[in-house]
Amino acid sequence: MDGLKIAIEKFETFIKRALMPSSSFLMMFILFDIYGNNKALLNFLEKEHHTVMIATIFIIFAGLSTLLTILHQFLYDNRIKENYYAMFLFKNENKELKNLRNRVINKLAKEDNELKEEGLTDYLLYQILGKKAHDKGGNLGTTRYVDDVKTIGIFFVSLLIVLLISITKYIIVHKALFSLLSILAVIGALFAFLLGKELILSKYRSRAVRIYTNFLNEKE
């Protein structure tokens, strides 16, 4: 029973962190198919609706979830390993984050004289505080932030893929590489990328504030 419970919990995590966020890609691709591709995909699925096709679609969807997760990791998470400062939105939160970070570093330095304070970023402090919580037999309780980040990241990765497919199709069909519409579409894709990063940073910032506050409120 314990093994079955663990398997169910892991499958639930996969659904929440991979399958569900990836459904945003399917939604946007179907919209693209309806308005830009003469319902080619929907017409195909309407004709091929037997069990094998349904199973094939599920397998493709599961594979797509893995691909989108990898792209999310590459485009966003791997590039956010410093301080979680806002770039252009919510910049008023940067001061509070910096203040809390400095207080946490000072407290850690008092607890560990060998700690090197220089270069301790929000990302590194998350690792340090996570290990301290683990050593005490607990955890930071930040699972929901991870789920939210993955949902946001995969949504914007999906949006970028659909935008790039649309831009490429428009350029090929109309042979208009430097047309006003194609340039605006590229700018729109860049804005979508930056907006996704900003929203992810806001989630990581909220997580950091919660962790720092809890750590500072711990009794000596």
Q: Can you tell me the distance from the alpha carbon of 87 to that of 80, in angstroms, rounded to the nearest whole number? A: 12
The answer to whether residue 133 sits within a structural domain is no
Report yes or no on whether pTM surpasses 0.85: no
The answer to whether residue 95 sits within a structural domain is no
The answer to whether residue 171 sits within a structural domain is yes
Q: CB count, 10 Å around CB of 140?
A: 17
Q: Can you tell me the distance from the alpha carbon of 157 to that of 97, in angstroms, rounded to the nearest whole number? A: 27
**Which sign, positive or negative, has the C-alpha torsion 39, 41, 47, 49?**
negative
| pLDDT value for 4 | 45
Q: What are 88-142's pLDDT values in tens digits?
A: 888 999 999 999 999 999 999 888 777 777 789 999 999 999 988 887 877 888 8
User: Domain containing 182: what range?
Assistant: 2-85+139-217
Give Cβ neighbours of residue 80 (< 8 Å, ≥ 6 apart).
Answer: 123, 197, 200, 201, 204
Two tokens, residue 104: 């946490």
The answer to whether residue 102 sits within a structural domain is no
Domain count, the chain: 1
Q: What are 153-184's pLDDT values in tens digits?
A: 988 998 898 888 888 887 888 777 777 777 88
Q: Can you tell me the distance from the alpha carbon of 54 to that of 48, in angstroms, rounded to the nearest whole number? A: 9
Q: Can you tell me the distance from the alpha carbon of 108 to that of 216, in angstroms, rounded to the nearest whole number? A: 10
CA distances, 58 to each of 15, 49, 62, 167, 217 (Å)? 13, 13, 6, 28, 47
- Quick one: which of 139, 137, 152 has its CA closest to 204? 152
